[in-house]
Structure formats: C-alpha cells, structure tokens
Amino acid sequence: MATELVPGDEDGDLPLADRDVSLVDLLDRLLAGGVVLTGDLTLAIADVDLVHISLRALITSVRPDVPSPWER
C-alpha cells in the first residue's frame, strides 16, 4: 500500500520501519537488491533462479486455477 504522499516527518525522523509495506513492493527490492555475495550455502539461492521460482510461487498462490509448474 502506498504511504502518504507527503511524509510526516515532524522531527525529521522518517518512518523507516514501515510494517505495512506490501509484499510485492518488498520482493521487488529484496529479490533484485542487496549485496550479492557468495555465501557458503547460497550459490544458487542468491541467483536469479530464486526470482523466477518465487514469482511463480506467488502467481500460483494468487491464482489457484493455475497448476503449479513444478508439481507436474
């Protein structure tokens, strides 16, 4: 959900910890943003595969009529 158009920062403190952020806006950022490092266990996970897999999961969960592509 969009926040108010003009931020209410009376004391210059912006509401960074906004719990109302929409999952889609959050995933736009978390799946494509952030420092990509080669962790010990994340070689494939931090990859773009995750984006596809997750978005397919999202689509199938939102649209139950669409069969899950990885359950065939």
CB 25 within 8 A of CB 1: no
Q: Is residue 6 involved in binding another protein (CB under 8 A)?
A: yes
Q: Does 11 bind another protein (CB under 8 A)?
A: no
∠ CA 29-7-31, nearest 5°, is 5
As measured in angstroms, the least distance from the Cβ of 30 to another protein is 5
List 10, 11, 37, 72, residue binding another protein (CB under 8 A): 37
Contacts of 31 (CB under 8 A, 6+ apart): 50, 51, 54, 55
> Which residues would be at the binding site for another protein (CB under 8 A)?
2-3, 5-7, 9, 12-19, 21-48, 50-51, 53-55, 57-59, 61-63, 70
